[in-house]
Amino acid sequence: MGEVDPAFIQPQEHRPKPDITRAEGIPLIDLSTISSPNSTLDNDQALGVLVDEIGDACKSWGVFFRTQLLSLLHISLPMRNSPGGLISGPEYPADLREVCEEYAKEIEKLAYKLMGLIALSLGLPEDRFHGFFEEQTSFIRLNHYPPCPVPDLALGVGRHKDAFALTILAQDDVGGLEVKRKTDGEWLWVKPTPNAYIINVGDIIQVWSNDTYESVEHRAMVNSGRERFSIPYFLGPAHYTNVQPLEELVNQQNPAKYKPYNWGKFLVTRKRSNFQKLDVENIQIHHFKIPESEMAEKLD
């Protein structure tokens, strides 16, 4: 087992495959067509194209790339400045706090823009989701995955879906993200795309959209020779938000598929169980799924 704690060894059915299968076809979406001052496209035309692209990506993959990283943050500044590659003790950069705060403000703007485009793709007003995030529970995480002597037995992060509304991931060139293809359940390696974010649809959007869009199951592999860094931003609504299918997307032919749940209580329960070895499954949105028999009664 080398130097790996046995606690990190995955059960046989969850271990990474020796042969990596690349994810082909994940959409690469360029927002500069509507945000660049030098754009020559008609704004309405460009917006319509983007909305269609994002809608298709959310339906077919639940994940897509957004090109052009924010230039204000060099990922190496929070991650690589200390001799060991980790932020520790007096070695951290003096301006780390200011850089991270500025990054958080800019990434929040991007998240709102993406939520507006997702709203439009569902036939909703562009600002439909904004009210949910006035007292948001969003946060940024700085991840470091050290080299692993047995990468075929362990994972950096096990399989999961993001409970939040949206995840915006910045990562280095090492790569390690795998997504589960919806059509056949195959795990696919997502090759890092230079200067691009990876956008994940989260569980809250799945519920709000009444399953029109589905969050993507994913995990993180480790590397035997190189360490990996990533910076995910998780967009979460106010803690008092009751998450349920939006009334505009529910009708007699398409009844609500989820019971309402309180986001704050859900988040606390999820966080507590994340750090415990329990004999029960961590809380998931499918625990609030309305049985098909009940939905059939509503159709009758």
At 159 the pLDDT is 87
pTM, full prediction:
0.86
On the CB side of 113, CA atoms within 13 Å amount to: 16
The pLDDT value recorded for residue 245 is 98
Task: Find all residues with CB under 8 Å of 171, minimum gap 6, and list them.
Answer: 75, 177, 192, 198, 228, 229, 230, 231
State residue 39's pLDDT score. 47
Exposure letters 182-213 (e unless 16+ CB within 10 A, then b): eeeeebbbbebbeebbbbbbbbbbbbbbbebb
Quick one: how far is CA 128 from the chain centroid? Answer: 20
The confidence score (pLDDT) of residue 298 equals: 63
pLDDT value, residue 218 = 92
The residues that bridge with 262 in the sheet, in sequence order, are: 242
CB 201 within 8 A of CB 213: yes
* pLDDT for 64: 76
Q: Which residues of the chain have pLDDT under 50?
A: 1, 37, 39-41, 70-77, 79-89
255 HSE (CA, 13 A, CB side): 14
